[in-house]
Amino acid sequence: MLTSLNRIAGMPVIWQDRQIGCVERAIVDASARRLRGLVIRKGIGTARWLPAGSVRLIGRRCVLAGAKPEPLPDGLTDVMMQAYLTTGERAGQVSDALFSGLTLQLVALEITPGPVYALLGRCAYTVSYRVIHAGKRAGQAMVSELMTWAEFREHSRREAWE
């Protein structure tokens, strides 16, 4: 099952048959193409960290935890990346990421040219990207192709059969 970072915000987190909080935000490691962990909070209490290794499943209605959450690690950042085409043109901002709720592997990035386009639902998706680690565009994503949602779904179906 595919899910997105924006969709899981607010989901309840269940550990040992009880709700221990809700997902405040998800942190990804785009370079490793994997979910890094979840920031969870219960009420107005202190935010806690649930590393990806402690996430058993991200389902349609809740997140199942395999361990008790930890204190937030130092230096936890969640920066929105800019995306550039291989021609050097700016494609837009990475506005979301799609990942498998079972394996926690990133499948695609959602790219939006700007906030107005996002409100209009004008987003593109890419499965082929790399994060730049050096130079003036360090920390940004370089994408080789952009797809519509329909093209992405068709690509996902083909990948499932191969």
Asked if 81 contacts 140 with a C-beta cutoff of 8 angstroms, the reply is: yes
| Cβ-based neighbour number of residue 122 at 10 Å | 13
**Angstrom distances, CA of residue 141 to CA of 86, 122, 129, 150:** 10, 19, 6, 22
| Cβ-based neighbour number of residue 95 at 10 Å | 22
Q: Is the pLDDT of residue 145 over 80?
A: yes
Q: Which sign does the torsion angle of CA 112, 116, 2, 26 carry?
A: positive
CA distance 123 to 100: 20
- The predicted model scores a pTM of 0.83
CB within 8 Å of 103: residues ≥ 6 apart: none
Q: What is the pLDDT of residues 62-95, one digit of tens each?
A: 999 999 999 998 877 766 688 999 888 999 999 8
With tokens 């962990």, the residue in question is 37
Amino acid at 135: G
Q: What is the pLDDT of residues 11-20, one digit of tens each?
A: 999 999 999 9
